[in-house]
């Protein structure tokens, strides 16, 4: 039999990089991550996203993906859902090492350290694949230059979906570049909502009830000392944004850094 032709079916535009898939990891029927060669000239801030697409689609479909690797990494990492009839992910979930991935050259995003004013604790609040930009920031030495403590929350429907975040945080200690820097300073707080697990509930409920604070033995969210980054679905963003605003946090941007920032998880 003849192997499926996965070579580009149209000319690669000038403002697009064509890179090679290095590895693919499937976590569940709905989630996978992959690593791709990094274009030498691609520069980005940890926490930003980029538009990615496939060359073998009938017509090129691009979607915004947070870069999950830190800005110093030689490869780029992405974390994605799989949607059976999703315009991009239906094909993207079939990628293999050696396949070509297209990346638009411009990166952007608001989940960057420069959009926040200095503080003591940095809360990264995520659901599902919204953890991706934090995977980048957690591996960036800058994060530890600016904050004493980092608290990463990750809520998913099912237990297996928490694995990416668990591995991410466990691997920090072994990282030759930032391992020592992260020692004793990163806390992972995860929960599920639709499968039985040791901790259940939406992060909004866990904060509202105060359970987050009692579980970790930490002081409540306080705009004087804390900064918050939020990434998840549209509904989650809205609810968590309201929650932190009700506690006195104000949204920041690169032009006007402040005490919290949000980004929708660009997936589909
Ligand atoms: P739930 O199962 O109660 O909807 P999704 O896959 O829909 O993006 O959900 C990922 C996780 O985010 C799920 O655990 C889900 O909980 C949770 N979630 C969904 N909407 C919100 C919201 N408005 N506020 C907080 N968490 C949410």
Render pLDDT for 193-248 as a digit per residue (tens, 0 to 9): 999 999 999 999 999 999 999 999 999 999 999 999 999 999 999 999 999 999 99
Sequence ranges of the domains in the chain = 16-108, 113-264
pLDDT value for 267: 43
- The answer to ipTM > 0.90 is yes
Fold of the CATH domain 113-264: Rossmann fold (3.40.50)
Residue 2 has pLDDT above 80, yes or no: no
HEC profile for the chain? CCCCCCCCCCCCCCCEEEEEEEEEEECCCCEEEEEEECCCCCCCCCCCEEEEECCCCCCCCCEEEECCCCCCCCEEEEEEECCCCCCCHHHHCCCCCCCEEEEEEEEECCCCHHHECCCCEEEEEEEHHHHHHHHHHCCCHHHHHHCCEEEEEEEECCHHHHHHHHHHHHHHCCCCCCHHHHCCCEEEEEEECCCCCCCECCHHHHHHCCHHHHHHCCCCCCCCCEEEEEEECHHHHHHHHHHHHHCCCCECCCCCCECEEEEECCCC
Class of CATH domain 16-108: mainly beta
Q: List pocket residues of ligand 1, CB cut-off 6 Å.
A: 127-128, 155-157, 193-194, 202-204, 232-233, 235-236, 239
- Judged against a pLDDT cut of 90, whether residue 57 lies above it is answered with no
Ligand 1 test: best mutation among 236, 237, 239, 265, most atoms within 8 Å of CB? 236
pLDDT of residue 56: 72
Residue nearest to atom 21 of ligand 1 (CA): 236
Q: What percent of the chain has pLDDT over 90?
A: 87
Antiparallel, parallel or unpaired: β 63-66 and 121-127: unpaired
The answer, yes or no, to whether residue 265 has pLDDT greater than 60, is no
CA of 159 to the centre of ligand 1 (A): 14
User: How far apart are alpha carbons 249 and 18 in whole angstroms?
Assistant: 41
Ligand 1, atom 6, lies closest to the CA of 128
Query: Mean pLDDT across the stretch 244-255?
Result: 96
Sheet holding 75-81, edge to edge: 63-66, 49-53, 100-108, 16-26, 31-37, 75-81
Q: Residue range 122-145: average pLDDT?
A: 97
% the chain with pLDDT above 70: 94
Q: What residues contact 77, with CB distance under 8 A and at least 6 apart?
A: 33, 34, 35, 36, 67, 68, 69, 135
More confident of the two residues 11 and 1: 11
Q: Model pTM greater than 0.90?
A: yes
pLDDT bucket at 84, cuts 50 / 70 / 90:
confident
If pLDDT is split at 50, 70 and 90, which confidence band does 13 have?
confident
Q: What is the average pLDDT score of the chain?
A: 93
pLDDT at 117 over 90: yes
pLDDT at 51 over 90: yes
Q: What is the mean pLDDT of residues 78-100?
A: 93
Distance CA 47, CA 57 (A): 28
């Amino acid at each position: 039999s003849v192997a499926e032709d996965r070579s580009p079916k149209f000319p690669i535009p000038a403002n697009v990089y064509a890179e090679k898939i290095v590895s693919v990891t499937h976590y569940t029927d709905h989630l996978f991550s992959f690593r791709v060669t990094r274009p030498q000239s691609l520069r980005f801030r940890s926490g930003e996203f980029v538009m990615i697409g496939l060359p073998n689609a009938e017509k090129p479909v691009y979607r915004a993906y947070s870069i999950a690797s830190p800005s110093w990494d030689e490869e780029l990492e992405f974390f994605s859902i799989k949607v059976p009839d999703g315009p991009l992910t239906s094909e993207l979930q079939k990628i293999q090492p050696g396949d070509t991935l297209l990346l638009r050259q411009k990166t952007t995003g608001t989940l960057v350290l420069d959009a926040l004013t200095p503080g003591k604790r940095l809360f990264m609040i995520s659901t599902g694949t919204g953890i991706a930009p934090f995977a980048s920031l957690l591996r960036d030495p800058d994060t530890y230059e600016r904050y004493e403590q980092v608290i990463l929350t990750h809520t998913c429907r099912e237990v297996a979906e928490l694995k990416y975040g668990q591995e991410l945080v466990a691997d920090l200690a072994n990282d030759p570049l930032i391992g020592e820097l992260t020692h004793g300073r990163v806390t992972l707080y995860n929960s599920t909502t639709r499968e039985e697990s040791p901790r259940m509930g939406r992060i909004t409920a866990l904060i509202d009830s105060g359970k987050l604070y009692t579980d970790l033995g930490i002081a409540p969210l306080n705009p004087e000392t804390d900064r918050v980054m939020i990434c998840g679905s549209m509904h989650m963003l809205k609810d968590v944004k309201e929650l932190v605003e009700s506690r006195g946090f104000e949204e920041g941007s690169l032009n006007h850094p402040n005490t919290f920032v949000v980004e929708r998880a660009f997936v589909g």
